[in-house]
Structure 1
Amino acid sequence: MKKKVMSTIMTSLLALSMVLAGCSSSQTTQQPTDQGTQNQPAPPAAEPAKSGPKQLIYGRGGDSVGLDPIAQTDGESFKVTENIMETLVKYKDDNTEVVPALAESWEVSDDGLTYTFKLRQGIKFHDGTDFNAEAVKYNFDRWMDKNHPEHNKEGFEYYNDMFGGYLGDENHVIKSVEAVDASTVKFTLNRPLAPFIQNIGMSCFAIASPTALKEKGPEKFNEEPVGTGPYIFKEWKRNDTITLEKNPNYWVSGLPKIDKLVFKVIPENSARLTALISGEIDVMDGLNPDDVNTVESNADLQLILRPSMNLGYVGFNVEKKPLDNPKVREALAHAINKPAIIEAFFAGLGQPAVNPMPPSIWGHNNDIKDREFNLDKAKQLLTEAGYPNGFKIQFWAMPVPRPYMPDGVKIAEAIQQDLKKIGVEAEIVTMEWATYLEKTKNGEQEMFMLGWTGDNGDPDNFLATLLDKNNIGGNNRPRWANEEAHQLLMKAQSATTKEEREKLYLQVQEIIFKEVPMVPLAHSTPALAAKKGVLNYKPHPTGSESLENVDIE
């Protein structure tokens, strides 16, 4: 027997408090909303002041790593692919409440093992081929089956993290995907997964054209993606620009508003602001917190604040000495002056982090009190660990500004100075962003800097994604393998109530705090800026948004 109920995930971003749907086996069947309804125009925006083709240039700090979303983990890639490809479900414009997208409704069995989606009909991929149930099945089969002809040889990091590995693996979640008919697709699971619906709304699980994948192959598709979204890929000049053009056959009538989107790389935050002021670009992200007043005092600009759902952290590769010693990791934690870093680099738009998930996510453990900045305590712990005179270590610093880390190198330099006071000589290492991500995934780093912007508003997307032992070689960059935490995380994924899940996540955070695989550094409120004539820009807490509703005067 199947139940149809309405999803009630209510979010209050003004309070920065994310309350997600409970995880009982009775799930919501979504009905189309005004924004997601086929052939229904969005509410009219202010009339633009000029006619003719409209172009919006988006200035950003780094290039995309790739444009096949399932093969990426970086925000710069999703920032672009969110406009080209679409998921079965999506999140509301300003929170992580799930609403219909390519699927117009769904049903969930009482035991939580079967999900049946009704797909919108009449939608075409950019290459003119049909979006249908077979296309959905093809994509999921490609992701989960290592023997699939279009499965990447290095795998798909996000799929592995969110669905317990791949077909045949002990913890793999999805048993099968069946195209019941052209507009119906059924997922059968090996075990219940509480955040299943939340997960498939993530940007990485967007549906690609099977025909394009077969014709181009995964490597070429990663450079020339084909989806169903509001914009069509046109050109990529590496480390410079990515150009998208309006999809004239987009399934939502009246959208998109802009004829051409250009994502332009300008590495320095200050140079990006100069480009905005001069009119070279229309929107910029990565606004230096210190430049907020400059934007607010300029009548031609507008300040845009992204709701906070992120984490910047200093990580320790626990497989390498001396970081395999918990006392060493705790000593380093006491030597990192979080309040000073927040004050110096976040200009009122950040708060010290205690746990590896932000307070805006339900299940955050508010009872854990952070370690104080205490150099004497740090020295004592190093002595107890057998390093009374300290040691030398490499400290990898992020080369690009990210929402959770406005200036990785400068923050690393500040930490370096404090570590020197306890006898730890940290050599700062940096490199090109894609290389940085690849090498940290492979475990080549010692002490390092990274961060995370939540994908779906669920605790699992922080705690399990970043620190479960199954995700070593993926997003678990500290390579921390704690069996007790793993068992609790697996129980939380299968738990049937939100209350049960929350209790388990509180315990996991206690273990993480004790073991110190990372030092949670900051949660930020990322700042963007735009020309006054940019209309309807709604920044999403996940860090990437589709721009189909954005207009420009």
Structure 2
Amino acid sequence: MPSRNFLFSSLLLAALLAGTAQAASDTLVVCTEASPEGFDIVQYTAATTADASAETVFDRLVSFVPGSTELRPGLAERWDISADGLSYTFHLRQGVKFHHSKAFNPSRNLNADDVLWSFQRQLDPQHPWHQLAGRGFPYAESMGMAALIERIDKLDASTVRFTLKHPEAPFLADLAMGFASIYSAEYAAQLLAQGQPDRLNQQPIGTGPFVFERYSKDAQVRFRANPDYWDGAPKLARLIFAISPDPNVRQQQLKAGDCQVALYPRPTDIPALRGDPELKVLELDSLLVAYVALNTRHPPLDDVRVRQALNLAFDKTVYLRAQFGAGGASPAVAPYPPTLWGHDASLKGWPHDLERARQLLKAAGQQDGFHLSIWTRPGGGPTNPNPGIGAQMLQADLAKIGIQADIRVYEWGELIKRAKHGEHDLVFMGLAGDNGDPDNCLTPNLSCAAAESGENQAGWCDPQFDALITKARQVPEQAQRAELYRQALAIFHKQAPWIPLAHPKQFSALRRDVDGFVLSPLGSNNFSRVELK
């Protein structure tokens, strides 16, 4: 029998969508797991925020071929790279239009001023918009972009040159990530003149395939197609994100036809979904990593022996089976999956060994145990399908070695904000490689710069590890970079700032009439080429 909460959520979502989605064959309704943190994508890192902004409203100079990590031209139709790897010159497309909306009517097309504004805002502390980002610029900060980019020059109205302080092998791929989205400098100037800079985060304007219409908090986000999209107008007239943290609700709404796509179904539900003749299930080995970050700024988690003991205490084999079922994920050892180059096949995961864990706690002077907090979220997503169950399993295993843990549940956006400030002890998290380069799993999540910015939830800063990944970004040869990453991964494994959990497979469930949607290994979802047949 359905729970009262389930019935309420179902009725609420049905009411919101009534008279629109089911009646319109050109409207796609996507049931998704969480609300966007905002729409000013440079301030945020959550995948749901990227789906509702970077993949809909905005574009970048460089983009990915759908369903792959292969780079292709975006707002820049071509680029030149100097022989020393220090200069990148981008030639912008002509005639690219910004969105027209109730909030803004652009007087010109995209030009070099928009590119300069979009990056200098993040990099220059003296820029008038730099201090207006309440959440800062997590990707730019954790990836050390200000220390990398020496200057950005406007060569003419359609040509921009980036000059780097040192070679950076993943730089081009970095520019295809959400934080490199291009904004309208004209819209920003209008908002600043009106004294309404907050509207940049509430009413976004970009060049992307969909135009933002409105957001009903924790309920839905509505977009309409951009008829002037430079890469061809979408075949959909409207796109709606219907928000429900409960995967049961998403699944039932999909079956009822109230949405045509259900993102992030639980792996344990996949067999039943595949058995429904009205549905189809997409599956992909993506660049996802599930982990528990151990806050090394909080004693006794600053002791490597304690962190190793926690890794030994948690029975990850049982956890994977309960969370992902058979074949839904592979066990994680490192911060990125073995499908990426630079992986060290010789690294073995921590075994489940309670006696060895107790010995390490005794050596650290913690044989009498201690208290800590385990943070998680409600609902569930691809890296944490059943958050409550996972937290309880970790809590029970830690109790076996004398560690008493309290479970605290926070809404996704609140959890990210608090974890960035380092309030947690242990927090269940997940990441998706954003550009297909191993560095993207390391620098934004484990570097010293990321610890300072708060995106490194472990707060872990190891000088030797940091030096290795920094050097790996600066050498061009992949074989040399791979060797440096293998050395870095060995340090990560020994120092144990995380409990690596899983590399989940990525799933989406669709109704049979949905065509043109492909899963991305980067964990993002783009609907610009989707149609309903």
Per the alignment, residue 315 of structure 2 pairs with 337
1:155 matches 2:136: yes
Per the alignment, residue 16 of structure 1 pairs with none
Mapped contact 1:91–1:98 kept (Cα < 8 A): yes
Aligned-residue offset at 1:105: 0.7
* Structure 1 residues without counterparts, runs of 5 or longer: 1-49, 167-171
Counterpart-to-counterpart distance in 1, 2:119 and 2:491: 34
* Structure 2 residues without counterparts, runs of 5 or longer: 1-21, 101-105
Instruction: Specify the code of the residue in structure 1 equivalent to 2:96.
Output: I
Instruction: Specify the code of the residue in structure 1 equivalent to 2:190.
Output: E
Counterpart-to-counterpart distance in 2, 1:182 and 1:53: 41
1:96 matches 2:69: yes
1:468 matches 2:440: no
Instruction: Specify the code of the residue in structure 2 equivalent to 1:364.
Output: H
1:397 matches 2:376: yes
| Deviations 1:138-172, CA, capped at 9 Å, x for gaps | 1111111122112225420111122x153xxxxx1
Query: 1:515-530 counterparts in 2 under 5 A?
Result: 515-530=495-510
Counterpart-to-counterpart distance in 1, 2:110 and 2:285: 33
Query: 1:318-397 counterparts in 2 under 5 A?
Result: 318-347=296-325, 348-397=327-376
SS in 2 for 1:414: helix
Counterpart-to-counterpart distance in 2, 1:298 and 1:165: 47
Per the alignment, residue 19 of structure 2 pairs with none
Instruction: Specify the code of the residue in structure 1 equivalent to 2:140.
Output: Y
- Residue number among 79, 97, 102 corresponding to 2:51 in the alignment: 79
Instruction: Specify the code of the residue in structure 1 equivalent to 2:488.
Output: V
SS in 2 for 1:369: coil
Mapped contact 1:69–1:205 kept (Cα < 8 A): no
Query: What count of residue pairs does the alignment treat as equivalent?
Result: 497
Counterpart-to-counterpart distance in 1, 2:134 and 2:28: 36
Per the alignment, residue 114 of structure 1 pairs with 87
TM-score by length of 1: 0.88
Mapped contact 1:79–1:543 kept (Cα < 8 A): no
1:504 matches 2:504: no
Per the alignment, residue 26 of structure 2 pairs with 54
Q: Are the structure 2 counterparts of residues 251 and 390 from structure 1 closer, same or farther at C-alpha, using a change threshold of 3 Å?
A: same
1:192 matches 2:170: no
SS in 2 for 1:242: strand
Mapped contact 1:489–1:505 kept (Cα < 8 A): yes
Aligned-residue offset at 1:214: 2.3
Per the alignment, residue 446 of structure 1 pairs with 425
Mapped contact 2:25–2:532 kept (Cα < 8 A): no
Query: 1:531-546 counterparts in 2 under 5 A?
Result: 531-546=511-526
Per the alignment, residue 38 of structure 1 pairs with none
Instruction: Specify the code of the residue in structure 2 equivalent to 1:315.
Output: A
- Residue number among 250, 264, 270 corresponding to 1:272 in the alignment: 250
Counterpart-to-counterpart distance in 2, 1:398 and 1:192: 39
Instruction: Specify the code of the residue in structure 1 equivalent to 2:98.
Output: F
1:489 matches 2:469: yes
Per the alignment, residue 286 of structure 1 pairs with 264
- Identity score, percent: 34
TM-score by length of 2: 0.91
- Residue number among 206, 212, 215 corresponding to 2:181 in the alignment: 206
Mapped contact 1:400–1:433 kept (Cα < 8 A): no
Per the alignment, residue 137 of structure 1 pairs with 116
Mapped contact 2:419–2:454 kept (Cα < 8 A): no
| Deviations 1:179-226, CA, capped at 9 Å, x for gaps | 111221111111111100000001221111112222235421111110
Supply the RMSD in Å over aligned alpha carbons. 1.5
Q: Are the structure 2 counterparts of residues 325 and 307 from structure 1 closer, same or farther at C-alpha, using a change threshold of 3 Å?
A: same
Instruction: Specify the code of the residue in structure 1 equivalent to 2:531.
Output: D
Counterpart-to-counterpart distance in 1, 2:499 and 2:25: 48
SS in 2 for 1:380: helix
| Deviations 1:297-352, CA, capped at 9 Å, x for gaps | 11101101243201110111111111011111100100111111111110121111
SS in 2 for 1:245: strand
Aligned-residue offset at 1:389: 2.4
Aligned-residue offset at 1:462: 0.8
Counterpart-to-counterpart distance in 2, 1:449 and 1:462: 16
| Structure 1 residue runs of 4 or more that deviate by more than 3 Å after TM superposition | 50-53
SS in 2 for 1:222: helix
| Deviations 1:439-465, CA, capped at 9 Å, x for gaps | 111111112211111100111111111
Mapped contact 2:312–2:352 kept (Cα < 8 A): yes
- Residue number among 276, 279, 285 corresponding to 1:301 in the alignment: 279
Mapped contact 1:439–1:445 kept (Cα < 8 A): yes
